[in-house]
Homo-oligomer: A and B are copies of this chain.
């Protein structure tokens, strides 16, 4: 058990607290992640390690491990599932890096960032195959089914997102469908598969799935809000990626809906015609801010975090349950 001080300290970042509660499981998952990145083909570990070691919080595999432990799991298969979940996530990031030449031609993206299109695709495929191997090793066909379904849903979500780029007719419903698929599906499957491998009851498994789903939605909403945050920019964090890629996220949908004629013209030029000039990001941030679009996005995230926490209501008291609740709170609060 941790000392009271350590717990108070850790609660400043609840993700670290949760890491501490499943530390030995995460160490096992990390060993698998590093072992399975190995390949006789040098480019593969080089490129993959760059991403896998890039300081991500391993939030998704954490959900798998936490769900399994919360149900008293004492086996080792959960670490394989956690490693597989991280590999699926990393493969998705690599494939997200692939850029269309049409984007390049519009002069928005430096050529060097897209020189490695093909490497990103192939190393992503390798990681996806490695994930598949790890899941097969875990040996539970029902879990395989959950993760296979999540993979198909993620790919559909990415295609939906691609089609919504440059398109100001994208609705709130379209947007929510996209983030449910491209982000929340893996959060939900990660938590659900941890519950399943631990032979959780149907009610426990459904609760963990619901927690993962709503946490994923809240997480993506906040991510999309932060991309238009002037405060983030002041903190030296990179913002404006979605704007530059002309993605139509909730802040843009709301800001466009409430825009006057001049602002509507601005959004049509920068998003639909994809003609962006110096200073446009600053104007976009101002429009998003003054229409209350960031506030609305944060409020929706808050409501999903509440639903995530509500999913855990009937679970017995447990450090991991407390930490999961704190993680859901933290995911929303990081926006302020």
Chain A residues within CB distance 8 Å of chain B: 39-41, 43-44, 95, 98-102, 104-105, 111, 114-119, 121-126, 128-130, 132-133, 136, 139, 141, 144-145, 148-149, 151-152, 154-156, 158-160, 162-163
Contacts and interface: CB of A to CB of B under 8 A. Distances in A.
B136 A121 contact: no
Nearest to A115: B102
A185 B158 CA distance: 29
B41 A159 contact: yes
A40 B148 contact: no
Given A121-B121, A133-B149, A151-B132, A159 B126 contact: yes
A98 B117 contact: yes
B115 A100 contact: yes
A159 B95 contact: no
Nearest to A128: B128
A158 B95 contact: no
B155 A145 contact: no
A46 to B, nearest CB: 11
Given A122-B155, A122-B162, A130-B152, 11 more contacts: A40-B156, A41-B156, A44-B159, A95-B121, A95-B122, A100-B115, A129-B155, A133-B145, A133-B149, A133-B152, A136-B148
B129 A100 contact: no
Given A129-B148, A139-B141, A144-B136, A159 B122 contact: yes
A120 to B, nearest CB: 8
Contacts of A133: 145, 148-149, 152
- The secondary structure that dominates the A interface is helix
A118 B41 contact: no
A330 to B, nearest CB: 31
| A-B residue pairs, 8 tightest by C-beta | A129-B151, A126-B155, A129-B152, A125-B155, A132-B148, A133-B148, A136-B144, A101-B114
Contacts of A159: 39, 41, 43-44, 119, 122-123, 126
A114 B121 CA distance: 14
B111 A98 contact: no
A115 to B, nearest CB: 5
Contact of A162 (B39, B118, B155, B162): B118
A142 to B, nearest CB: 9
Contact of A117 (B99, B119, B128, B145): B99
